[in-house]
Structure 1
Amino acid sequence: MKFFLSLLLLFLFSQNQIAQNWLITQEEWGGTDSTDTSLEHQISYITIHHGGEIFPEDKNTVTYLQGLQKWSRSDRKWNDIPYHYVVARDGKIYEGRPLNFRGDTNTTYDPTGHALIVLLGNFEEQELNPEQIESLKTVTSYLAKQESVAADKIKTHKDYAETLCPGVKLSAYLGTDDWNRFLSNISDQ
């Protein structure tokens, strides 16, 4: 019996690892752990952002994230980088602030209960990369399933605050049939 229980536990653990093989953890990109547990929350929403600054294709994402974490903690006095997941221009997905800690914002909405996803780039000016779109779907689908977030609770920053975020080009994509089919599939999960 112990043998079968061990096999079951090994199987379940490996399935969890397989499900997240797309994620570059904070430890892997050289970030440091958050320690302030006063910001803990439960996820009820998924909110999509853009970085709001031009992000060249050849810019080093790891160096950027390390700088963002340092700036967030020292200049802004935040617990960590503002977002839970960061989608780089090449489509790689990086872990940001731990999901159980409330994110931060420079605008007026309360991000308590929101899982924050940011796509690097300024989508008022830059084009979306197909890799970013696929990665946005990957992390959104994962979060919706993991945190039991309904499709109608998946929105953008500008749905909660007066802002251009996530930019006209990302907003346009989020109004396409492709995105709406994706959301419909989430509703069916």
Structure 2
Amino acid sequence: MSYIDIVVIGSVVPARFISKSDVRNWPIIGWLSGMFGTIFVDRKPSSTRASVANICNAVNNRDNVVLFPEGTTSDGCRILPFKSSFFKLPRECVIQPIFLEYKEFNGFPAKRADKKNYSWIGAETAMLPHLIRIMETRRVKACVRILPVISQTESCCDRKALADLSHKSLLSASRGVHI
């Protein structure tokens, strides 16, 4: 939904986050991201191999790595299709889907309009006004659900299948969530 997803998930799971390389050059956020061990990746197809190698190095060092496979932020009202490029992982890696749902803003149940208001869709929302709106929020209640692990087996070991299984896991978790 927005950069606040990182804060919420990071408060529950010790991990390094994956971010597009452009973020490294953003004022303040780029510096903070680097300080917290963000893995910056170039999303150009010609750079995918190097980016996957950086992710694999972190995984081989036993770091938890968090990927937002939609590749962008959304309005928080639906799960977008997953990009599979960064699911090319060492065979011993497991994928741990995490479902994040915002339940309340300022003590009131989160409605569709609230989620759209708090989501940050970079091209549509200026960063500073959005950050101020977030900082004016007294309380946000979020639910982080750790879903069953997806391991790479003989029947499922290619990146597209792993991305598809992960997507289906989150869609299944979202059923019954009214937004």
Whether these two folds match at TM > 0.5 is: no
TM-score (norm 2): 0.28
- TM-score, length-normalised on structure 1? 0.27
Higher strand share goes to which structure? 2
